[in-house]
Amino acid sequence: MEQTAKAHGKLAGNALSGMVATIIYMVSRLLLTPFILHFISLAEFGLWSLSFIILSYAGMGGFGVNSTYIRYAARYLAEGKETDISKLLSTGIAYMLSFSMLFCLLLFLVMPFILERFHIEPSQQNLASTVFLGTAAVFSLELTLGGFRFIINGMHEFAKEKMVTTVAGLIEIAAILSFLALGSGVKGLLYAFALRLVLETFGCWSIARTILPSL
């Protein structure tokens, strides 16, 4: 009975933390956009938005791996096979590292085609290449080491994972405001994005290692 009540309480806490994190993210991004457009042009903001459309294709490559992390981490934890979780993580990292390197290489090779097909002005092509390749490189970090986050989810520690991502997201907002005020332009968004993913990765790694020292 006590274990059931504890499980229900944890489930409610996880659900609540997820809703709060989502609301904070949506409201903060909605309020942040007009401020960003005060410092960069609509064309530059378009490049930033386009970079995430490109990244969505890379994200599809990691979907199956992420669900595998969650499913098997939960199973191995229930069976007391903690060393198998470590093996699962190592395999996933190796696969996603290879995939990320291939994606970045292909993106680099097709960059002239992308710049042409999206009718990007010649004066902005160098900036566009930097933004596209930069976000791809940063996103590759999340793809490669994001397994720590999904293993935490597999262990039903959603609240801890949401705490990390929410704090990192708020720090990203502060970094965006700072970089834009310093005149970094759209590259400031890239720097802040990189900072957020580094913080998220480190935070999830720390939590995962605390729960499972064998990782």
Taking the C-alpha atoms of residue 143 and residue 203, their distance in angstroms, rounded to an integer, is: 15
How many whole angstroms separate alpha carbon 211 and alpha carbon 102? 33
Predicted pLDDT of residue 11: 56
Report pLDDT for 140: 92
- Overall pTM > 0.75: yes
> Nearest Cα to 107, choosing from 163, 54, 146?
54
Which residue is associated with the tokens 């489930």?
11
Answer yes or no: are the C-beta atoms of 17 and 163 closer than 8 Å.
yes
**Inter-residue contact 60 to 192 (CB < 8 Å):** no
What's the CA angle centered on 60, arms 73 and 25, to 5 degrees? 80
pLDDT digits (tens, 9 = 90+) for 50-91: 999 988 888 887 777 888 888 888 888 888 888 888 899 999
**Alpha-carbon gap, residue 40 to 146, rounded angstroms:** 30
